[in-house]
Structures are given as structure tokens and as C-alpha cells.
Structure 1
Amino acid sequence: MRISTPQIFNSNIDGYQRGYASIAKTQEQISSGVRIQTPADDPVGAARLLQLQQQQALLTQYSGNMTTATNSLNQEQSVLDSINSALQRARELTLSAGDGSLTDEDRGALSDELGQIQNQLLTLMNSKDASGNYLFSGSKSTVQPFVQNADGSYSYQGDQSALDLQVSDNLLMPIRDSGWGIFEMAANASRTTSSLTTNPNADGVQRAFLSQGTVTDNTSYNADFRSGAPYTLKVLSGTQYQILDSGGNDVTAEANTNGTFDATSSDSNTILFRGSQFQLDVSLAKGDDPTQMNTLVGGYSFSFGTAPDAMAIKRNASNTSAAQITSATVSNTTAYNTQFPNGGVQLKFTSATTYDVYALPTSPSATPMTSGSLGATFPQTITVGGVDLSISAAPNTGDQFSITATSPERQNILNTLGDLRKALDTSTTNNPQAQLAIRDMVASAVSNIDNGMNQVLSTQSSIGSRLNTIDLLGQENQSLSLTNTTTQSSIRDTDMASATSQLVLQQTMLEAAQAAFARISQLSLFNKL
């Protein structure tokens, strides 16, 4: 093979350039401290670095999410602390209201302070975060969670979802709790009701009273009480009563006193029956002869059982008329159970005299479940799915009202305080029934406030557990981040000792190549002549 002089020169120049490029590369690695300048420097290491960088980005995001979660949970914890303090004060006032020596003015003062606490609780339950989002609306963070209805009751407008944030590869952390779970799901002690069915006194004055009752044992109430309701309590005399279940069976023996009571006592006539508690009282009228007790109270009959659903009414803020739906009551239990939608109904007036009824939730394309028309005089009643709605005045076209059913199984603490205030604001002068109603309402309110506080404390305990979890995850995240950084450094960064040795070797090789080339370039055939 013939090798020309230009080939020799070009080959040596290429080798010299490669050697110089290697030295320049090694020098750049030493000066920058980075071994892998391009993926070509170490394809396997570059791929591994990309994976580690992606993991580091996730760890950084998780760290930021944990900070956000911690701030949100701490704010919620602080708000719940304030709510718990307000409920504790409400409980103290409620216990004070049970003092039988209080006058109407005294109870009115207590009612006023309870009203202030009620407003304070409403403000706290509608708290916002630094971004202006509501804390307790669930995922509907721009919707005010609690509003007061036209009838004075309070309703929840958020949803039941908790707002979650990813804080690790496998964990979604709830960073906010919905107001539904905290303030709407406390057990309601007032799940029973009673009504007078027979008054044997010819003068029409009521002398025997049965309280609305409270639930004292959820297990027994759910297992035994419900199945036999409604019950009938018959007062047989001033010392005896009888309880019959819905089938007419005598179940008196299941009551704690086995059908006996003392008509002359105002404190000891508590009836414990199938997980519920009722108070049977006698209040004689002025001029009654106590020796005729059997005649005065014998023959009274009461019906008692589970409380029906309550109706919440919401008036659309854009309504242009003064019309209000002042009440909503179940008039036909069968129709209500089979026809009234679980989510409630929306009443939409298509003119001043006609209306459509839609099942909630509704949509622009929904079709009405029923339609109707109004009479000429007001107030009047509209019946929808077994529920009577009383409308106060003529509506305008486009007016809307929403009616939803609220189960008595759970209680909103705002409504508990509202019901208590109504009882305290009722005059008890010459009104024994009002006096007994206050006593019963106080007992129910204390139980419901306790249940509400327990629900808040349970949520606070859950928040504490989540904060502890975040602390542990933060430590793990920091450890993983440190390991990740160390691993990246070991792959990416230059080994200075090795690189320096490599640079010396490359420099020596380049110098040797230069010396060899200098000598070879001087060779010629003329040197042999």
C-alpha cells in the first residue's frame, strides 16, 4: 500500500487534534466540576441522572405541598379552637338557663348572649384562607358554606368532599375538612317527638304533659325504638301509665319504672324506654283538688316516636317580589316518602300565577316533575310531594325557592342554639307547658352541644394525626432528597484526582505525539541518497 506524504501529515494532524480535544474536555471537566457535559460523555450515567432529577423535582413539589398542607391544617385547627371555646361558653349559658328561679327577663338576657355566640359561630364556620377561599365548603371553596334561611334556620351549601393534596408518591393528604362532616354530622339527641292525642278534662285545660324526649342510647334506639314506633302512652291514674307499641302490644315492662310515676313530683318522673328518655309531668290548674289526682289526669293519651324530617327553605337572592315561603310541613307521609326527592325541590315561578317544580339538583335542560297555578288570595298553600308550602304573597316571574329535607338524625349546632333561643324567648308566666318546654329544650341542647363539641374535637384529633404524618413524611422527604443529591453528585461531578491524572496522561501522550510527528515530518528519501 502506498502512503503519500499528505496522508502522513493529515493522519498526524487528526491524531493531534483528537489528543488536544481530549485534553480540552478533561480540562473543562476539572474547571466546571461536572463530568457529564453531554449525554455522549456517559449515556448510562446521563439516563440515571435524568431519573434522579425527575425524582428530585417530585420531592421538591411534595415538600412544597407539605408546607401548604401544614399551613392549611394549622389554620383550620386555630378556627376549630375558637369554635370549641364558643361552644363551651354556650354550654355554660345553657346550663344556667335550666335554673327554675330565672325570670323571663333573665332568660331573655341569656338568649341575647346565645345569639351573639350564634353569630360568632356562623362567622367562624364561614372562615376563609389567605387566598379568599372558604375553609369548610369542601371542594366548592368559593361558595359560602353556611347561610341563614328565611325561616331563621341554617343550611350548608358546600359539598361533602375533603380537599386533598399529594404529599408523597402514595399518599393524598386531606388538608381541609368539609363543614358537612364537622358541623352537620353530630348526633342529634332530639330525634324523638310526642304529641297530645286525648285530653279528658272537660274544661280543656291540659294538666298532664309528655316531653319531646331525647335519645340516650343510640344502639338501643336504632335496634328497638324505631321498629315499634309510633307508641301510645296512656295515663291510667296519678300513679300508673301504660305504653303500647304501633301494633297495640303492651310494652310497659320495658320502661325503667314499669308503668309507675308520681304525679305530685316535678323531678322524678323520667321514663327510660328503648334507648330514649321522656319526662311525664303533671301541672294542676289553679283551684284543682290534689286529692282528685286520679280523676284529673286519668285518661290522658300521648303519641310518641321518631321525629319527622325538618324542611329548610331557601329564597333565591335574585327574587324581585316580597313573596316568602313561610313554612313547609309534611302533610302526607306516604306521598312524602314515595314522591319527595332526596335532594329536595326547586319551586320556579313561570308567571305571577303559575309555577314549575324541579327535583334538586337541577340543570338548565331539566324537565319539571310537576306544575301548578296559584289562587287569587294570599297566604295560600302549595302541596308538593306530600309537603305543604305556605306562600305569603304573590310572586313575580322568575322567582325561585329551594326546599330541602333535613333528617333529625344529625344536628347543626347553629340550629340547636336557634331552637334553644326560641324556647328561652317564650314567656313562662302562667304557662306551665312553656316552663316544661324550657326544661326539656335545655336538656336536649346540652346533649347536642356536647355532641357538637365531640365532633369538633374528633376533627381536631384527626388534624393532629395528619400534622404528625406530615412531620414524618417531611423527615423522610429530606432524607430522600439528601440521598438523591449525593447520588447525582457521584454520577455527575468530576473526580478531581482521577481527572488530574487523566489530564497529565493525556498531556504526556499529546507531547509524545507532537515529538514523533516532528521527527517523522523531517524524514525524506533524499536522506538515504
Structure 2
Amino acid sequence: MRVTQQMLFSRYIYNLNSSLTSLMDLNLKAQTQKNINKPSDDPTGMSRVLDHRDTLRSLEQYQENISTAKGWLGAADESLMQVSTIITRAKELATQAATGTVDGDNREQISYELRSLFEQLVGLSNSEFEDKTIYSGHKVDGKAFEEIMWLTTNDDTFGSSVDFTVNGSSNTTVLVQFVDESGTVAVGDNMNLSAAGVRYSVDGGDTWLTDGSISFTGTQGTLNLPSSGTSVDFHSDAVVKNNDPNDPSVADGTWMWIRPSARYIGDDEDQPPLVDKLGSGVSQLSATASGSFLSQNVTVRIDNSSAVTMDQEINYSYSLDGGINWVTGNVAQADTSANSATLGVANGGILTLASNGTNQLQPGQQFVIRPRSADIELDITSSERITLNSVGKDIFGGIYMDPDTVLSAGGAALTLGSSNAGRVFHSNGAPKMAISIQGDDEYSKNLFEVMGNLVAFAETNNQTGIQQCLANLSEAESEINNAMATIGGRENRLSISETIVEGLELNENSLVSAIEDADVSELMTELAQQQIVYESVLRSTSMIMQLNLGKFI
């Protein structure tokens, strides 16, 4: 075979390029200390590295979420610790004011600090983290609480029987007494509110004003107190007890305190969830939901091939993602309840259907269960979420208007009053006003109501009322401590999750390193060897390329 110069040259160039390419690859690996710098270096290895990097990015997001959650929960923990400190101070002041060794002047002096403490509590209930309110549910851009005026009475019949709306505001407690101006009703006897006269004090009972009046138009009445800056609308007539016209200190009649409180204006998670009905004939059905639905809407669909009554077997499906995916094959067994049916859905929730004109269910009817949601949650591991915020009314209490009441008004503006709002932690059967009766104390763990009453009783020199508030302060403090324990538990979960995520991150980095990183000592050896190979190729090529026929002629 004849070997031409061109063949030799081509082979030399190929060998040079191959050696140089290998040397450059090793140089690149030496610079990056990575075995894999491009997919062609190790396609399988590169695929594994990319998978691990995706996992690392997820772990980094978990770390960021944990850091954010620490900020939220740390702010909540700190604010509640300050609240606990304020309650401790309020108990000290209440203990002083509840004793018989202090007089009205002393209680007045104590009341100044108590009102300041009340205002501090409102400020702490509106605590923020990164300009987001932490106690208002999803409504993070606004305040959780606002100061309002509410009522307390020493007459439980009056406090339970009449709805009211307090208008205006006052920097001091307004003490109101109802009196008979006709002189025909004995002290302590009943009379109608619409026929009563009124006297009131804005300086704790030191002086009494008589320029107030009660006027009724039909069933609607207004208590006007011109010098106080407040008035009260009553939405029906009521029975009150006559006070001694000559001695305001005698408590045989009906007294009323117009005093500070706070209204919660955030979200809640109260039961039951709302249920929307869709499909033919649903107007003749009633639907209610109970149990646990977490924070997501659940859609329930009737799947029978034809109409069925509620005592027959009902086939149904439910969806947790708005109808994209359905959990099918659910069956409510036939029973003897002809006018109601109970369907179980995910997470322990129950949908109860009842007749409201018909007991038939039609194929395709849908019921959308909308649980109230206030939690802001973040993923802290692949299988765990944590709640950042809290529902303020479930911690501090206050006065709350149910959002269903707002919806039922059809967009009309509502003025806060006892007909559309109530005291948190007090059942629907409880008096609409706070009650203060000697020997029959009203239990309350509603911090803002307890503190509001404490301010009122200190400002009006009411030793019995202060004693009642002192007992209730301990109940409210227990509620705050429970909230602190809940937040502390979440913080402990964060610490554990952070340790887990850090361990997973270390493991993933080790796996990536094992695949991707080069062995430096081995790499240096290969690089030295390749340099020798390249230099040998250059030297041998140079020697052979110098040989030609002319040198042998």
C-alpha cells in the first residue's frame, strides 16, 4: 500500500486534534473540578444531576418558607408575651382597685393607666410582620381590630331583651341611670324604657347631667346624651327598673355603662360552611355542611342515572379541585329517612340534604361546600404545611359581626349593633350587653370585653364590678396562654422541619457531588499523562514530517 504525504498529514492532524481535545477537556475539568460540564460528558449522569438539582431548589424554597414562618410566628409570640405582661399589670391594678382600702379618687387614678393598657392591647392585636397584619386572617392589609363603644348593665333582663346600636364615641365611660319622672313608680320597680327619664354622668358619677332624653317613634327609640358625645338606638321597647331620684349611689334600679370595647374586622373559620346549590330542582332542597373540610371548596355531584328519593341508594362523586378531578363510586346506602340524606365526603366532612318541597334528587345536581378560611399556610417539607397567622377574635375576643349577616343584607351598609353582632365567646343565648350583678358574676374570657368593663368600673368607682373583672382577667389570660402554647408548638415544628430539610439538603449535595465532582488527584494524574501524550505526538509528528525523499538522493 502506498502511503502518500497527504495521508500522513491527515493522520498527523487527526492525532494532534484528538490529543489536544483530550487535553482541553481535562483542562476544563481541572478548572471546574467537575466530571460533567456538558450533557455529552455523561448523559445519564447529567440527567441524575438535574433531578437532584430540582430537589435542591425545592429544599431551598422550604428553607425560605421556614425563615418566613419564623418571622410571622416570632412576631406573634413576642406580641402575645407583651399582652401577657399587660394582663399581669392590669391584674395588679385591679387587685388594688378591688379592695375597700382605696377610695374613688384612687380608682380614678388607676383608671387612667387601665385605659392606656386597653389601648396598648388594641395596638398589639393589630401587630404586623413585613407590613402584614398577623391576627386578621387573610385580610392582612388592614387592621384586625378597631376601638368601638359597647354596653354593660346591672339588669340581666334588660340586657337580654333589647337590641341596640351605640353611636359616637367618648374618652370616658358614660354612666346612665333610668328614673321615673312621674313619681308613680317605686324605686326598683319596673317601667317601660319608652316612659323613663334619664340622668347620666361623664365624670365617673361625681356629677349628674339631666339634659338627656329618650324618644320613641314606633318601636324604635333613641337615648340622647348631648354632653357625652354618644347616643344609643334601641330597636324595641324594654322594661327597666326605676332608680332612686334623690340618690344616684343606690343600685336598686337599672344602670348602663357606655364603655370601650374592640371590634374584630378580620376573617374567621367558624362553622358551618356555606353550601351553594346548582342544577335543576335544587331550590326545593336544603343543604347544610358540617365536619372538617380543611380550607378548600368541595363539590358534590349526584351520579344516579335517574331521579331517586332520599331514602334510596344515592350514588355521588366529589371533587376537591373545582370539578377537574372527581372521586367517584361513593354510595349513601338506602335507609328509612325519606326526607333527608347524609353524604360523607373527604377529610371527615358531611353534606346533609333535606326536603324543602321535594325529597327527590336529580342526576347532575351539584352542591358546592365553601368552608370559611382564614389560614395562611406555607409548605415547609414535601408533606407538611404550617399556618403563619391567627384569627384574632379567637384569641382576644371583642365584638364580631358574622360575614353571613353582611351577605344577607344584599350590599346594604350595616351599622354595628347587637342585632347583627355579638360578644365573642358568648353563645347566642347570652345577654347582648355585658352583665354586672353583685353575687351573680358573668363568666367571660373575652379579653377586650373584660378590659373594657374594667376600665368602665374603675372610672365609675364600682368596686363590685372591678372584683368581677379581676376574676375574668384570669380566664382571659388562660386564653392568651393557650394561644401562646399553640404558636410555640408551631415554632417547635419549624425547628424540627428545618433540621430535616438541612439533612435532606446535605444528602442531595452529597449525591450531586458523587456524580458530578471530579477526583482532583486522579484528574491531575490524567492531565499530566495527557500533556505527555500531546507533547509526544507533537515531537513524533515533527520528526516524521521532516523526512522526505530529497534527503536520501
Give the number of the structure whose residues are more often helix, by fraction.
Answer: 1
Q: Is 1:144 matched with 2:143?
A: yes
Q: Is 1:177 matched with 2:390?
A: yes
AA aligned opposite 1:162: D
CA distance in 2 between counterparts of 1:492 and 1:45 reads 7
Q: Is 1:492 matched with 2:516?
A: yes
Q: 1:471 pairs with 495, 520, 542, which one?
A: 495
In structure 2, relative to structure 1, the CA distance for the partners of 1:424 and 1:525 (3 Å cut) is closer
CA distance in 2 between counterparts of 1:470 and 1:400 reads 42
Q: Which has the larger radius of gyration?
A: 1
Cα deviation per residue 1:441-489 (whole Å; 9 max; x = unaligned)?
A: 4454334322211111112122222222222333333333333333333
CA distance in 1 between counterparts of 2:133 and 2:534 reads 72
Deviation at 1:514, TM superposition (A): 5.0
Deviation at 1:53, TM superposition (A): 2.4
8 Å CA contact retained: 2:395, 2:479: yes
Residue pairs, 1:24-103, within 5 angstroms: 24-99=24-99, 103=103
Q: Is 1:416 matched with 2:416?
A: no
SS at match of 2:377: strand
**Which runs of structure 1 show a deviation greater than 6 angstroms over 4 or more consecutive aligned residues?**
522-529
In structure 2, relative to structure 1, the CA distance for the partners of 1:418 and 1:527 (3 Å cut) is closer
CA distance in 2 between counterparts of 1:425 and 1:493 reads 75
AA aligned opposite 1:15: N
Deviation at 1:401, TM superposition (A): 2.6
Residue pairs, 1:26-425, within 5 angstroms: 26-99=26-99, 103-129=103-129, 131-149=130-148, 151=166, 152-160=260-268, 161-184=374-397, 343-345=404-406, 359=408, 401-403=415-417, 404-406=420-422, 408-409=426-427, 412-425=446-459
Question: Partner of 1:317 in structure 2?
Answer: none
CA distance in 2 between counterparts of 1:483 and 1:157 reads 46
SS at match of 2:143: coil
Deviation at 1:98, TM superposition (A): 3.9
8 Å CA contact retained: 1:65, 1:166: yes
CA distance in 2 between counterparts of 1:496 and 1:77 reads 50
8 Å CA contact retained: 1:342, 1:405: no
Q: With the length of structure 1 as denominator, give the TM-score of the two structures.
A: 0.52
8 Å CA contact retained: 1:140, 1:158: yes
RMSD, aligned α-carbons: 3.6
Deviation at 1:40, TM superposition (A): 1.1
CA distance in 1 between counterparts of 2:543 and 2:101 reads 124
Deviation at 1:405, TM superposition (A): 2.4
Q: 1:501 pairs with 525, 528, 547, which one?
A: 525
CA distance in 2 between counterparts of 1:342 and 1:55 reads 42
Q: With the length of structure 2 as denominator, give the TM-score of the two structures.
A: 0.50
Q: 1:453 pairs with 477, 495, 519, which one?
A: 477
Deviation at 1:46, TM superposition (A): 1.7
Deviation at 1:525, TM superposition (A): 9.2
CA distance in 2 between counterparts of 1:412 and 1:134 reads 21
Deviation at 1:83, TM superposition (A): 0.7
In structure 2, relative to structure 1, the CA distance for the partners of 1:92 and 1:468 (3 Å cut) is same
CA distance in 1 between counterparts of 2:131 and 2:548 reads 89
CA distance in 2 between counterparts of 1:181 and 1:511 reads 80
In structure 2, relative to structure 1, the CA distance for the partners of 1:524 and 1:157 (3 Å cut) is same
Question: Partner of 1:230 in structure 2?
Answer: none
Cα deviation per residue 1:312-352 (whole Å; 9 max; x = unaligned)?
A: 78xxxxxxxxxxxxxxxxxxxxxxxxxxx87324xxxxxxx
Deviation at 1:521, TM superposition (A): 5.6
CA distance in 2 between counterparts of 1:106 and 1:114 reads 12
Deviation at 1:180, TM superposition (A): 2.4
8 Å CA contact retained: 2:265, 2:400: no
Deviation at 1:84, TM superposition (A): 0.9
In structure 2, relative to structure 1, the CA distance for the partners of 1:516 and 1:181 (3 Å cut) is same
SS at match of 2:131: coil
Question: Partner of 2:306 in structure 1?
Answer: none
Deviation at 1:80, TM superposition (A): 0.9
Unmatched 5+ stretches in structure 2: 150-165, 167-259, 269-373, 428-443
CA distance in 2 between counterparts of 1:34 and 1:4 reads 42
AA aligned opposite 2:132: N
Deviates more, 1:452-461 or 1:72-81: 72-81
SS at match of 2:415: strand
Cα deviation per residue 1:417-440 (whole Å; 9 max; x = unaligned)?
A: 22344445557xxxxxxx7xx63x
CA distance in 1 between counterparts of 2:136 and 2:403 reads 21
